[in-house]
Amino acid sequence: MRYNGTKYPFDVVYEDNHLIVVNKEAGLLVQGDKTGDRALPDYVKQYLGDKYNKPGAVFCGVIHRIDRPVSGLVVLAKTSKALERMNKLVRSREFHKTYWAIVKKCPYPKEGKLVHWVRKDTVKNKTTAFDEDPGDAKKSELTYGGIGKLNDHWLVEVRPVTGRPHQIRVQLAKIGCAIRGDVRYGFKKLNPDRRSINLHAKELHFIHPVKKESMHFKAPLPQDDFWQQFSTLDTIKSREIKQVLK
């Protein structure tokens, strides 16, 4: 998006006095790391400062993260009160996320639940999934359903139950369904832009921490050519598609 001539690597989906919801580009960090690269909160602070003409420090709290090569919805807090209350929602699993992933192989069965135990190597920044608890891993759960097929790729909807590092990526890879472009977890080659994988944070649903209203947000698919091949499915409810595929 552009604001006052400045290009930002996100689009604003929703904003009020407490929260801002953005649809971020793939390749952008949500939280700063050892690379020192500029992260999403830095850009959001700049955007808020420009929009409201705030010369001083701007508060912007990270509530949840999506991986750097993943596109889609991220919620940030504009006040410390909103951050504290949203953190409670996340911890109590009242913050619901839906992702779309493109994979080469259709999951079998076409829909179901995956339960693994995952352990992250912080040095290599890579997570390993186990079928049984090795004793030093955390339980990781998600549900999934095949939405549709285009040429030789499948579109899969994923809803994580837990929030482990690289959870969707490693759990799909564990069943032989590595996400397109995700060479870290077994896909054969990078995507042409070399910075994205075909995993998109598509929907968010939660109760507003201050207004106590039900909030439901959807993000359009990224504009790159490969994602846009699936854009027709974006206008149909996943449930309806699943009925057609049965």
Q: How far is it, in rounded angstroms, from Cα 222 to Cα 71?
A: 7
Contact 186, 172 (CB under 8 A): no
Residue 155 CA: distances (Å) to CA of 103, 150, 160: 7, 8, 16
Task: Report the CATH number that the domain containing residue 59 is assigned in CATH.
Answer: 3.30.2350.10
Instruction: For residue 92, give the nearest of 206, 203, 180 by alpha carbon.
Output: 206
**Close Cβ partners of 196 (under 8 Å, ≥ 6 residues apart):** 26, 27, 69, 70, 71, 181, 222, 224
| Tens-binned pLDDT, residue by residue, of the chain (246 aa) | 877 777 899 999 999 999 999 999 999 999 988 888 999 999 999 999 999 998 788 999 999 999 999 999 999 999 999 999 999 999 999 999 999 999 999 999 999 999 999 999 989 999 999 999 999 999 999 999 988 888 889 999 999 999 999 999 999 999 999 999 999 999 999 999 999 999 999 999 999 999 999 999 999 999 999 999 888 877 665 455 445 444
| CA separation for the pair 6, 50 (Å, rounded) | 9
Distance between CA atoms of 27 and 20, rounded to whole angstroms?
20
CA separation for the pair 134, 235 (Å, rounded): 42
Q: How many domains does the chain have?
A: 1
Host domain of residue 29: 2-245
